[in-house]
Structure 1
Amino acid sequence: MTKCNSQITTLFIILALACAVVPAFSIEESEAKSLWDTCVVKITPKCALDIIAVVFENATISDSCCHELVQEGKVCQDTLIKYIADRPTLISQETQYLKKKYDLWNRCVSISTTA
């Protein structure tokens, strides 16, 4: 239970810092609330961080996280990635992130349909 609370706290801090560091480029408050309500609270914090790591780093994702992602839907993935990718330091690599996002989605759908 403590580990879960720690992961939730870590995810919340990451999202809050990302928004606070560059307030001029932050997404609208209603979008942030939508992200929180539709994605972050439904996908485990570990999976949300894994999804972000796959797209913005060179990480891998577990099959169980793929199942969670597909269950929540493409809009959830798109919103989560957009929230992070809209930062000025990341915009220049948008094409790379979009490809990784689509590759991740396709991989997760493939895993979910074969299980």
Structure 2
Amino acid sequence: MANTRIQAITLFIILALVCAFVPTFSVEEAEAKSLWDTCLLKISPKCALDIIGVVFENLTITDSCCHDLVQEGKMCNDKLIKYIADKPLLIANEKKYLKKSDDLWTHCVSISPTA
């Protein structure tokens, strides 16, 4: 079971990285660079994986990662999830992923001491 979880998370990381360097998808190269430069540098790789896992794999997130997410900001969270959800393999469920992202944001804001 844990092996499947690791494989799924690894798949999403690979997908995100590949898509970041292939501008032929729906997000332009400048937008991908902006996402990496302004958002993903503000959050730990583990928390980024947790966020992706919650939205795309129904996993859970720690309170400390919720705090990091709130510190990162809603715009960055929305950009990251939209960027991944826009990919051809995921676009059919994009609305579901965006809703889950909003639910995650609401949850994290409610438990974050800086909210």
Work out whether the TM-score is over 0.5: yes
Mark the runs of 5 or more structure 2 residues left unpaired by the alignment.
1-9
Cα RMSD for the two superposed structures: 2.1
Q: Which amino acid aligns with 1:18?
A: C
Deviation per residue, 1:70-100 (Å, 9 max, x gap): 0111001011101111111111112211110
Instruction: Tell me how far apart the structure 1 counterparts of residues 35 and 108 of structure 2 sit (CA, whole Å).
Output: 20
Q: Which structure dedicates a bigger proportion of its chain to helix?
A: 1
> After TM superposition, what 4+ stretches of structure 1 lie above 4 angstroms from structure 2?
none
Indicate the percent of aligned positions where both proteins have the same amino acid: 71
Instruction: Tell me how far apart the structure 1 counterparts of residues 28 and 108 of structure 2 sit (CA, whole Å).
Output: 29
Tell me the TM-score normalised to structure 1 length. Answer: 0.79
Instruction: Tell me how far apart the structure 1 counterparts of residues 29 and 89 of structure 2 sit (CA, whole Å).
Output: 21
**Would you say the 8 A contact 1:27–1:83 is kept in 2?**
yes
> What is the SS of the residue equivalent to 1:92?
helix
Aligned positions, number: 103
Mark the runs of 5 or more structure 1 residues left unpaired by the alignment.
1-9
Structure 2 counterpart of 1:7: none
Tell me the TM-score normalised to structure 2 length. Answer: 0.79
User: 1:1-115 counterparts in 2 under 5 A?
Assistant: 14=14, 15-19=16-20, 23-113=23-113
